[in-house]
Structure 1
Amino acid sequence: MLPPRPLRFEAQPQRLTVDLARTAIVVIDMQNDFCHPDGWLSGIGVDISGARTPIPVLEKLLPHLRAQEVPVVWLNWGNRPDQANLPPGVRHVYDSDGTGGGIGSTSGPSGSPVLQARAWAAAVVDELVAGPSDIGVDKYRMSGFVDTPLDSILRNLRVDTLLFAGVNADQCVLATLMDAANLGYDVVMVSDAVGTTSPQYCMDATVYNVRQCFGFTTTSADLLSALAG
């Protein structure tokens, strides 16, 4: 049993104290297909500026968390090449017009198979370099807990508090956070370390629902201030 390392910081709807010895940060979908100008989303005409807003925040925050031995978990969408575990509904979401430009397609600017594990498409964006002790988990749904080893990994780390970062805040981040809360984890969304390509009202609703129903929000500045203190 690791000795407790309490960290107290400002949060909403109330100030929090967490145990750093039992805390991890889950960084969701900060990968090329969602956040790189040559990635799939940009290639189909989506403005990815919102998906890139967490990059400088995480560049600053993650080294400080690693220095405190807080595990960093990269949860990226990375499908099997044969897509054998994907139901029709998931394939439809990423190819809604049925033209074949979704999961597995190589027609985008990079030529990398869309959202395929071990491909450039599923790699963390260059600005965010994974550390040697960081953990990578592939996911295949909006929630990173479905059909993945994420829960087992976190339990083995003896983690019960999760910080959430990444994209899209209102989609994969929220779905994973909700499942985490339902599984009994304490959840904290770092509000400036998440982004979305959706309209602003989607972000507003996400922040509201996290605070109202599932857990807490904080900022990277409040975390860094507490870590420095």
Structure 2
Amino acid sequence: MADSNLRPLGVEPNVWWVDDQVADVSRQALQPRLATLTTQTKQLRVDLSKTACLVIDMQNDFCHPDGWLASIGVDVAPARRAIEPLQGLLPSLRSAQVPVVWVNWGNRPDLLNISAGLRHVYNPNGAGVGLGDALPANGAPVLTKGSWAAAVVDELEQGPQDIWVDKYRMSGFWDTPLDSMLRNLGKTTLLFAGVNIDQCVMATLQDANFLGYDCILVSDCSATTSPDYCTLATVYNVNQCFGFVTDSAAIQAALGQV
């Protein structure tokens, strides 16, 4: 700043510089870091300074053989296919100063903001193991914030600079601070990864599109326990209506340009 006596208030780039007499609200822009990203439909010019990666629901309850889905008979092996590509991509994103945002299902223990319809999805007769109930393998409460059940799988390292957001619906934007956090950070282009590609990943991506973000689905870093046609439909709909589809190799190539 021209006046060294001014002090910052806020999170870059949404920062004011102030003292007793002055409030500089010009919000100086981040230095652009441009790269070209290959997608299935177009070559994208992206600004890495305005980009963040949302990693959705890579949690024990969805991806671990002792987690919730496995306990109710779902084969979680397909969901785990996203782990290895993410192991390669996330360190590179951090090195390129692209924030990694963990958007994880982490309910209140009392479930006061969870509707009957949400609880019905995986416990349709009310007699099974549902949200907040103890897992058979270890007693952890299903998708409860702070529990083993809601934790990110051990295979994915979390960095101290990473950002965490708890969600309570399939969309990470509904009833959460995700949108306000991203806007404070000046992020307009979002990479999407995680599980399930046709459910929580897609719902979050759609809401991001509706809110005006640029949406890029990272196909090999996303997975699902649903039938293959669900992935095909998701990729088609993202390309057709909601954004772009790429993979981790293309992102690594784009990062190498900066």
Range into which the TM-score falls when normalised by the shorter chain: over 0.9
**Is 1:40–1:109's contact at 8 Å kept on the other side of the alignment?**
no
Residue type of the alignment partner of 1:71: P
Structure 1 alignment gaps of length 5 or more: none
**Residue by residue, what CA displacement relative to the aligned partner does 1:116-156 show, whole Å, maximum 9, x if unpaired?**
01101111100111100101111010101000000011011
Alignment of 1:117-196 (within 5 A): 117-196=145-224
**Is 1:48–1:197's contact at 8 Å kept on the other side of the alignment?**
yes
**3-state secondary structure, aligned to 1:121:** coil
Alignment of 1:65-84 (within 5 A): 65-84=93-112
Aligned to 1:26: 54
Residue type of the alignment partner of 1:209: N
Aligned to 1:106: 134
Aligned to 1:85: 113
Runs of 4 or more, structure 1, over 4 Å off, are none
**Is 2:107–2:166's contact at 8 Å kept on the other side of the alignment?**
yes
Aligned to 1:2: 30
The separation in 2 between residues aligned to 1:43 and 1:82, in whole angstroms, is 22
TM-superposed deviation, 1:89: 0.5
Q: Which has the higher strand share?
A: 2
The separation in 2 between residues aligned to 1:43 and 1:164, in whole angstroms, is 27
Counterparts in 2 of 1:8 and 1:138: CA distance versus 1, 3 Å: same
**Is 2:238–2:245's contact at 8 Å kept on the other side of the alignment?**
yes
Structure 2 alignment gaps of length 5 or more: 1-28
The separation in 2 between residues aligned to 1:107 and 1:129, in whole angstroms, is 24
Q: Share of identical aligned residues, percent?
A: 62
The separation in 2 between residues aligned to 1:108 and 1:16, in whole angstroms, is 47
The separation in 1 between residues aligned to 2:254 and 2:103, in whole angstroms, is 26
TM-superposed deviation, 1:73: 0.3
**Is 2:71–2:135's contact at 8 Å kept on the other side of the alignment?**
no
Quick check: which has more Rg, 1 or 2? Answer: 2
**3-state secondary structure, aligned to 2:111:** coil
The separation in 1 between residues aligned to 2:226 and 2:192, in whole angstroms, is 18
Aligned to 2:64: 36
The separation in 1 between residues aligned to 2:69 and 2:138, in whole angstroms, is 11
Aligned to 2:12: none
TM value normalised by structure 2: 0.87
The separation in 2 between residues aligned to 1:199 and 1:50, in whole angstroms, is 10
**3-state secondary structure, aligned to 1:65:** helix
Aligned length: 229
The separation in 1 between residues aligned to 2:226 and 2:128, in whole angstroms, is 23
**3-state secondary structure, aligned to 1:106:** coil
Q: Which has the higher helix share?
A: 1
**Residue by residue, what CA displacement relative to the aligned partner does 1:10-52 show, whole Å, maximum 9, x if unpaired?**
1021111110000000000000000011111111111101110
